[in-house]
Chains A and B, each alone.
Chain A
Amino acid sequence: MRRVIDNDYLTLLARLGIGLMFIYASAYKIVEPESFAKSIWYYHLVPGKLINLVALIMPWLELIVGLALILGVYYRGAVVWTNLMTLLFIGALCSVIVRGISIDCGCFKASDASSGSAWTTLLFDLTVILFAVQLFFSKSKRWMLARN
């Protein structure tokens, strides 16, 4: 098990996969912060006054964490942020499913209050967290720009 977790190629694959996903996911949110703020509002989890701040900062955090994962810079911090953000997304999705709110996740584009892909996204995020946890425990340091 240890050898699988520490496998250089698996670690690189997880870094690239999650990193590119975060960068891609951040794009629309950075360009359209108002749409993303609306997506956050649909979840009913963030106090109204803080929604815009979260909408302004979180996409950049995704972008920077994505880049850090791929480049291997500030790597430990990026891996922990990856786990924290993915757990946050999973928690948010679970909460809307439990409360019966029918929304698209707003992960890669603005949420639509009437569509319901929360389950699909939850399955996707559960897959992502598996790789994020693997990165957390992996001791592989190959193909990184900085010693972390």
Chain B
Amino acid sequence: MKSTTSQLVVLLIIASILGLVRNIVPANSIDYIGKWRTLSNGDDPIVPPNADKGDPPFISINIAQMEHMAGGAVFIDAREVSEFECGTIPGSVSIPFEYLPDENIDTYVDSALGGLEKDHPTIIFCSGEECDLSLHLARNMQDFGYTNMMIFFGGSREWDNYGLEIERRVECEE
């Protein structure tokens, strides 16, 4: 039993040394202490009081982050352009709901999304709980035939509050 325990420890020590030393080589090295966010136990999404049954599903920060890391879904920022440029979820597309054209909105949205398939996963957000631009944009997009949307109602503020990366294009206005 004693020799089994010592063998267990020796194998672990050898693996630890090799793993940590190999990481000194710059190619594909990573930080020893990760910056991964420990997910909270509560995985409940924020749902606005004016949500309807037919609305796309609301997702939590945990799901939003997982989808972002997986890279399959397109994130859509429904806030105005200045807010989008000040700081948004990296890789997001800007479709400012309040500044949509009066006509041919569907063409505008299709163009902004670069001709994305209507069933491609999209995640719509705005700034946070006080903002329902994401909800309104999602409802419009449903009318245009988009079928695979999710709404991240925690928005850019919840994303930022959790210490996740923010993409900034310009200095923020006061």
Contact = CB atoms under 8 A, between A and B. Distances in A.
**B is a partner of A:** yes
A32 B9 CA distance: 25
Size class of the contact patch on chain A: 35 or more
A68 B30 CA distance: 27
Interface string A27-60: 0001111100110011010011111110111111
Contacts of B70: 112-114
Contact of A31 (B19, B28, B32): B28
Given A48-B36, A57-B20, A33 B30 contact: yes
Contacts, number: 105
B38 A47 contact: yes
A53 B14 contact: no
A91 B27 CA distance: 32
A107 interface: no
Best-buried of A31, A34, A53, A148 by chain B (most CB within 10 Å): A53
Given A44-B39, A64-B11, A76 B20 contact: no
Given A56-B30, A60-B19, A37 B36 contact: yes
A47 B39 CA distance: 9
A57 B34 CA distance: 13
Contacts of B28: 31-34
Contacts of B36: 37, 41, 48-49, 51-52
Given A76-B4, A113-B66, A60 B34 contact: no
B113 to A, nearest CB: 19
Given A38-B69, A77-B4, A78-B11, A60 B33 contact: no
Interface string A59-91: 111011100100000111110110000000000
B68 to A, nearest CB: 9
A93 B31 CA distance: 26
B65 to A, nearest CB: 9
Interface of A: 30-34, 37-38, 41-42, 44, 47-53, 55-61, 63-65, 68, 74-78, 80-81, 112-114, 148
Given A44-B39, A52-B36, 10 more contacts: A34-B28, A34-B30, A37-B30, A49-B36, A60-B14, A61-B11, A64-B11, A75-B7, A113-B66, A148-B3
